[in-house]
Amino acid sequence: MTDLVNLHISDALDLLNKKEISSVELTKAHLVEMEKGRVLNAYITETPERALADAEASDKRRANGEKLGALDGIPIANKDLYCTKGIRTTAASKILSKFIPPYESTVTQKLKEAGTVMLGKVNTDQFAMGGSTATSYFGVTKNPWGLDLVPGGSSGGSAAAVAAGLCMGATGSDTGGSIRQPASFCGITGIKPTYGRCSRYGIVAFASSLDQAGPMARSVKDCALMLREMAGPDQFDSTVAELPVPDYTLALTGDIRGKKIGIPKEYRPNGLNPEVAKIWDKGIQLLKDAGAEVIDISLPHTKYALPVYYIVACAEASSNLSRYDGVRYTTRVEGKTLDEMYENTRTDGFGPEVIRRILLGTFVLSAGFYDAYYTRAQRVRRLIYNDFVEAFKQVDAIVVPAAPTPALSYEAFKNMSPVDTYLGDVFTTPASLAGVPSLSLPIGLSDGGLPIGLQIIGKHFDENTVFQIGDVLEKSAGFDLNPHRVKG
Ligand code: GLN
């Protein structure tokens, strides 16, 4: 029998269309796997009834020869940051732990209309702040490559679930690396599209000028299939570009001869982890072998990306999270005065990392420090953006590591200072600040047998080239996707 939980979405669609399998069979296989995989703590909320109802409806559409969505019958999971109508959406926080949204996010609505089956809501760092899922109110997710390891974050539940066969694909969101770094830690593929490619409507906001939705799956093609359904203009989000969404799968030509690929020297600091450097060099060699032209480039303001990101992201977070006040959305902790009620509700409802960022953000926006921090950070952000624009006059794409290390152990992570954990975002924040698309895909294993991914960064709205190069790299790297899963 086909191993239903290890299929790629593209293969499952073929089997469904040939009526060799049904969506109900496919969905049931995933529900069984989810049960076996509970030890990973990937799901915050499982929705088996909804999943089976979705699957039955899909099978019926197929049997009746009705019009099908592009992903009809495919079981997926949604990051628990996406509002799902009538289904609890927590942002992995205590303050939203009982929140049942009265409306659906645009992206999950589009995926629903594409015929997907929703298996449940997956774990994330609290309000997507973090790189490990360790800040989740619902506990850390475990990495299927080793139960003592973090899956990365914030979309760590998505990454672990995809890697372990607990769903075929998942939504993630990426503000400063939250799709790309967990994809690297778990040996899967994910893309942060161009800022403005997908609607943010109904995604719990972290930093609105950076937040971007994206797919996570087990192949470049699967991400291309999912993104096509997720992207596109939306009357509820004016920051989405009024551009047509191409069929990204048509970009997967298998031919990248003559493509110019930039390798920025700033991403190779002294002391770069040698295993990461080795995988990067392997990727570069594979690109050369495929006929691409590899060019050394410079992105001179790279070193400022991390501090700029943490100023801008915290500033926006402090403003976005002011809405959780005990009056709207949330459970309230009473106090003698209104101010005391706010204080009690927020002190009780937010975890320490979220509080830290609200305080940092409030500080950089305060009257005496606004210009010194926030205004200056905005200016430097423009320089980082300009670096990419300049580089893309010379090259078609840029290839760099996704993360400075393979997955870390939870023990090691717990003992790190907040600033040390922020350093893990060093390779992902520049593309976020510039708003350019970036795909992360696994290229090989560390000496210890852990996956390591590379990013392919493209021009604004040129996801096509990113997918095209990613597809060639994926095939030439021949990465074995199966973690040595440990299941309870
Ligand atoms: N790890 C980064 C942070 O903690 C990125 C998070 C994200 O992209 N949501 O802010």
- The pairs formed by 18-26 with CB atoms below 8 angstroms and a separation of 24 or more are 19/62, 22/55, 22/59, 22/73, 23/54, 23/55, 23/56, 23/58, 23/59, 23/62, 23/72, 23/73, 23/74, 23/75, 23/117, 24/52, 24/55, 24/56, 24/59, 26/55, 26/73, 26/74, 26/75, 26/117
Per DSSP, 6 falls in state G
Is the pLDDT score of 481 beyond 70?
A: no
pLDDT of residue 108: 98
Strands (E), 310-463: 397-401, 438-445, 451-458
pLDDT in tens, 103-131: 999 999 999 999 999 999 999 999 999 99
Single-letter amino acid code for the residue at 223: C
Is the Cβ–Cβ distance between 7 and 15 less than 8 Å?
yes
What mean pLDDT, rounded, does the chain reach? 96
Q: Is the beta carbon of 432 within 6 A of some atom in ligand 1?
A: no
Is the pLDDT score of 257 beyond 90?
A: yes
In the reported structure, the alpha carbon of residue 243 is separated from the centroid of ligand 1 by a whole-number distance in angstroms of: 27
pLDDT of residue 487: 42
Quote the Cα angle for 266-307-196, to 5°: 85
Q: For strand 438-445 and strand 451-458, is the pairing parallel, antiparallel, or unpaired?
A: antiparallel
Residue 39's contacts (CB-CB under 8 Å, 6 or more residues apart) are 142, 147, 486, 487, 488
Q: Is the beta carbon of 156 within 6 A of some atom in ligand 1?
A: no
pLDDT band of 488, cuts 50, 70, 90: very low
CA–CA gap between residue 399 and residue 264 (Å, rounded): 8
Active-site residue identified among 93, 136, 178, 432: 178
CA–CA gap between residue 267 and residue 457 (Å, rounded): 13
Task: Indicate if 36 belongs to the active site.
Answer: no
Give me 205's structure tokens. 């906001």
Is the Cβ–Cβ distance between 461 and 471 less than 8 Å?
no
Task: Indicate if 178 belongs to the active site.
Answer: yes
Is the pLDDT score of 364 beyond 50?
A: yes
Helices 305-320/352-365 angle, 10° precision:
100
Which residue from 178, 181, 203, 438 has its CB within 8 A of the most atoms of ligand 1, so it is best to mutate? 178
pTM (two decimals): 0.97
Domains for the chain: give ranges and CATH numbers. 2-261+393-484 (3.90.1300.10)
Active-site residue identified among 93, 154, 199, 432: 154
Mean pLDDT, rounded, for 392-419: 97
